[in-house]
Structures are given as C-alpha cells and as structure tokens.
C-alpha cells in the first residue's frame, strides 16, 4: 500500500501524466492518502498540531503581505490559499501517512522508475517516431499546451528532446531533479554507500543530457566523497583533470551556459518586441534561466523579499505570455526569499539529522539549489515535502545512521530498496 501511494505521489509531482492537470485527481489522491492514514492509524495529535501550525503560519504570511505590502485584488490571496490545499496539503498528507518510512519508499519507487526508463530511452533513440505515433494513438489526455509530447504514465517522450531521457517527468531537466534528489536521499539512508542502485541512478542522470542535472550530479559526488572522508586535496587532484576533459569533450555544459547567458541578455533588451511577436503567433515567449531571474527582479524589485503571489504571472499583462524557467526566481516571486529560506531551513534540519554534519547538510541543500536554477521544481510536491519530513525523523545516533525503525542492521537496510 505504501509503495502504491508513493507511486501516485511521484507521478503527481512529476507533472508529466494527465493526473497532474485535473483537480479531480488531486482530490481523489488526497482522499486515498487520508483513507490509508485512517485505516493504518497513522494520524495522531502531533500531525494535527503540525498541520494547523503550518497552515496558520502560511495563511498569516500571505495575508500580511496582501494587506500591507502589495496592491493586488483579493483573487491573488485566494490563489495562495488554493495553492496550499492543492500542493502543500498533499505533501503534508503523504509525510503524515508514511512518517519515517517516507525516504525509503520515495527512493525505492524513483529507483524502480529510473530502471524502467533506461530501456525506454534506448528504444527512443532507435524508434522515436514510432513511440510518438503510438502515444498519439493512445492519446492519454490532457497534453501540455506549449510543446508536443506523449506520456505513457511511467515514461515521457518529447520530440524536441529526442536524444534525451525525460523519464516519468515532463522534460529531461525536471527528471534530473528527481534522480539527483533521490540519489541524495538514497545516500542518506544507506550511509553513503555507492552500490548498484546508486550506479543506476547516475546512469539515468547521464541519459538526461541536462546541464543542470550534470551540475547537480557533480555536487552529489562531492557530497559522497566528503561523506567518505576524502580530503579536499585529493578531490582537487581527482576533479581538475575530470573538469578539463568535461570542458573540452562535453561542450553543452559550459558552452551552452555561455550561449544561454548571452541570448538572455539580448532577449532582455528586446523583450517588449519579442513578447508581442510571440503573442501574434499565439505562443508563449520562452525566457531562459538568467533572463528569468533578471526579469523577475526588474518587475518586482524589493517585493521579491516577501514575494507577490502564487499567481504573480497575472500581476503584469506581459508576464501572462512569458514562460519563466528559473525555479529560484519563480519560487521567490510566489513566496519570497523568506519562503525559500524557510524551505531550505527545514531541509537543512532534515539533512543534519542524518549526517550530523553542517558541511554535508550544506552540500545536500546545494544540490537542490543548483537544480532549482534550471527548472521550476520548488513548487513540486516532492520538494514541498521538505517542509515536513524533518518532523518525522528522529535524531540519528552517530554519523550516517539509518532513520527507519524497521531494519535491524545496516546490511539489511542497504539491501531493502
């Protein structure tokens, strides 16, 4: 049962399947979570207290900024409340039901989905057009409006990313977020042991061909080596040659970043003209990572500290036609630097419980921060779980101790997933 509801939760977070786009499926999944929680007696007074404390904190924050800091209609405040009950409430229910089993099942399900994606990916390389035709024939509704893609529930094929693995998510970069996050959580729960499952996750990350996913993986590897007490001197000796090879042999990592930045600067100079051009074509204007960050700050300025609203893209007419693709800027526009800081503070407390190390906990957070620069992933249900996971894991005894109460020894825990 826990595996099934985790699978539902991951697919809901992945934003690739039809269940993400219809509110009725969110309601059904919430009811399933509540039913499982009641059936297995997983809810207690501490859960109720945690929920109401967080809700009143959230509602108070959104109400304060709406009344005193921003001049927007009431529908923007209502949208913030809807966001809570649609996204944050679902994440809370999942954490409250699974409690200290959450990380085990999250990593187990994502690893299984990653393994499934690898043969699908190689099939995609050989017969991409065939996959597209089959997907269109099956025609699972509804589709994303801004790009053509087909989704088979556990695998997504995007013709625009024909040589990249999107896995169960809506595009390769977002899929890389799930894989890298899973790898971090898996290392936490297996005492930073690099086994076959970790190797499969790394292989899946490589197939995404995503710049941000690769950057995130580098931080994960730094985390792994430091957790295994590899000195900085040895890391420099190891990483400098690797980085030189990467710069020369994999141009999409560094060259792509340079081209994106240059292109964003040019787009910012002509944003009014470009926006009008895309409106006339009936399309959204894609604004890349750097451009998204710069433009959000230009529009909102110091309001970024408290944020504007979950529906901030409706506050300026031009934003309604611009696709923001920087997750950090997107979250700050929604809930401010304060909201982002609170999310990372809760994340830090969770990581610290497993690692008993400030350094390693910072590396864990840095992975998520790097991935968030590339995609709008901070509003996904999986990320929002970090608001609550900390409360359901006890302080670990010694470095890298396991967090579940079910496993009698380290060997059994490592072989669980």
Residue of higher predicted confidence among 340 and 252: 340
Q: Do the beta carbons of residue 407 and residue 413 sit within 8 Å?
A: yes
Shortest CA distance to 182 belongs to which of 90, 91, 112?
112
Residues 6+ apart with CB under 8 A from 250: 214
Question: In the predicted model, what is the mean pLDDT of residues 156-171?
Answer: 87
Question: In the predicted model, what is the mean pLDDT of residues 279-299?
Answer: 77
Q: Do the beta carbons of residue 365 and residue 347 sit within 8 Å?
A: yes
Query: pLDDT at residue 416 above 60?
Result: no
Question: In the predicted model, what is the mean pLDDT of residues 167-180?
Answer: 92
pLDDT for 129: 77
Peptide bond into 142 cis (omega under 30): yes
pLDDT for 345: 96
Q: Do the beta carbons of residue 117 and residue 129 sit within 8 Å?
A: no
In DSSP terms, 322 is beta-bridged to 285
Lowest mean pLDDT among 195-209, 250-264, 289-303: 250-264
Lowest mean pLDDT among 61-75, 247-261, 335-349: 247-261
Residues 6+ apart with CB under 8 A from 88: 54, 58, 384, 387
Cα Rg, the chain, nearest whole Å: 21
Distance CA 116, CA 167 (A): 8
Give 248's pLDDT tier (boundaries 50, 70, 90). low
pLDDT for 3: 96
Shortest CA distance to 93 belongs to which of 362, 416, 381?
381
Distance CA 292, CA 311 (A): 16
Residue 41's Cβ-count burial label (10 Å; 0-12, 13-18, 19+) is exposed
Q: Do the beta carbons of residue 339 and residue 192 sit within 8 Å?
A: no
Distances (CA, A) of 20 to 25, 75, 93, 137, 380: 7, 22, 17, 21, 11
Query: pLDDT at residue 22 above 90?
Result: no
Indicate whether this model's pTM tops 0.85: yes
Token pair for residue 60?
């108070």
Query: pLDDT at residue 408 above 60?
Result: no
- pLDDT tens sequence across 107-156: 999 999 999 999 999 988 988 778 777 777 666 655 554 457 777 888 88
Query: pLDDT at residue 402 above 60?
Result: no
Residues 6+ apart with CB under 8 A from 151: 16, 17, 18, 135, 140, 157
- pLDDT tens sequence across 33-68: 999 999 999 999 999 999 999 999 999 999 999 999
SS3 407: coil
**How many residues are present in the chain?**
417
Q: Which long-range contacts (CB under 8 A, 24 or more apart) does 368-372 make?
A: 368/181, 368/184, 368/344, 369/328, 369/344, 370/212, 370/215, 370/216, 370/219, 371/176, 371/177, 371/180, 371/181, 371/212, 371/213, 371/216, 371/327, 372/177, 372/326, 372/327, 372/328, 372/331
In DSSP terms, 323 is beta-bridged to 286
Residues 6+ apart with CB under 8 A from 168: 10, 11, 14, 16, 17, 113, 117, 153, 154, 155, 156, 175, 178
Distance CA 92, CA 390 (A): 12
- pLDDT tens sequence across 341-392: 999 999 999 999 999 999 999 999 999 999 998 778 899 999 999 999 999 9
- Running DSSP on this structure, what letter comes out for residue 230? -
Domain positions in the chain are 2-255+331-414
Query: pLDDT at residue 262 above 60?
Result: yes
Query: pLDDT at residue 239 above 90?
Result: no
Instruction: State the sign of the Cα–Cα–Cα–Cα dihedral 287, 292, 294, 296.
Output: positive
SS3 150: strand
Tell me what the pLDDT averaged over the chain comes to: 85
């Amino acid at each position: 049962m826990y595996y099934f509801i985790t699978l539902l939760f991951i697919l809901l977070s992945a934003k690739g399947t039809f269940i993400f786009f219809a509110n009725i499926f969110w309601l059904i999944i919430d009811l399933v979570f509540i039913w499982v929680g009641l059936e297995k007696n997983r809810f207690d007074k501490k859960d109720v207290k945690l929920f109401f404390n967080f809700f009143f904190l959230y509602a108070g924050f959104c109400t304060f900024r709406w009344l005193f800091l921003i001049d927007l209609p009431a529908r923007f405040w209502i949208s913030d409340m809807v966001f809570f009950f649609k996204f944050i409430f679902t994440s809370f229910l999942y954490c409250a039901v699974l409690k200290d089993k959450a990380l085990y099942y999250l990593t187990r399900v994502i690893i299984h989905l990653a393994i499934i994606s690898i043969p699908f990916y190689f099939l995609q390389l050989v017969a991409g057009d065939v996959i597209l035709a089959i997907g269109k024939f099956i025609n699972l509704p509804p589709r994303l409006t801004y790009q053509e893609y087909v989704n088979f529930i556990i695998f997504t094929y995007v013709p625009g990313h024909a040589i990249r693995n999107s896995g169960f998510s809506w595009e390769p970069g977002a899929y890389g977020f799930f894989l890298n996050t899973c790898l971090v959580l898996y290392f936490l729960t297996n005492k930073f042991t690099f086994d076959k499952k970790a190797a499969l996750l790394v292989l899946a990350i490589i197939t995404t061909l995503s710049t941000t996913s690769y950057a995130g993986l580098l931080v994960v590897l730094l985390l792994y080596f430091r957790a295994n007490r590899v000195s900085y001197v040895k890391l420099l000796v190891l990483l400098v040659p690797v980085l030189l090879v990467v710069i020369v042999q994999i141009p999409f990592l560094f060259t792509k970043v340079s081209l994106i930045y240059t292109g964003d600067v040019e787009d910012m100079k002509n944003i009014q003209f470009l926006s009008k051009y895309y409106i006339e074509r009936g399309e959204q204007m894609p604004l890349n990572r750097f451009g998204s960050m710069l433009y959000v700050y230009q529009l909102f300025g110091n309001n970024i500290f408290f944020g504007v609203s979950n529906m901030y893209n409706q506050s300026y007419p031009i934003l309604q036609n611009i696709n923001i693709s920087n997750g950090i800027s997107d979250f700050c526009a929604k809930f401010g630097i304060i909201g982002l800081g609170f999310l990372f503070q809760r994340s830090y407390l969770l990581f610290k419980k497993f690692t008993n190390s400030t350094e390693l906990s910072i590396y864990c957070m840095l992975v998520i921060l790097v991935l968030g620069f590339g995609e709008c992933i901070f509003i996904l249900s999986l990320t929002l779980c970090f608001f609550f996971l900390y409360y359901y894991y006890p302080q670990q005894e010694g470095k890298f101790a396991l967090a579940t109460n079910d496993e009698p020894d380290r060997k059994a825990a490592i072989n669980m997933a």
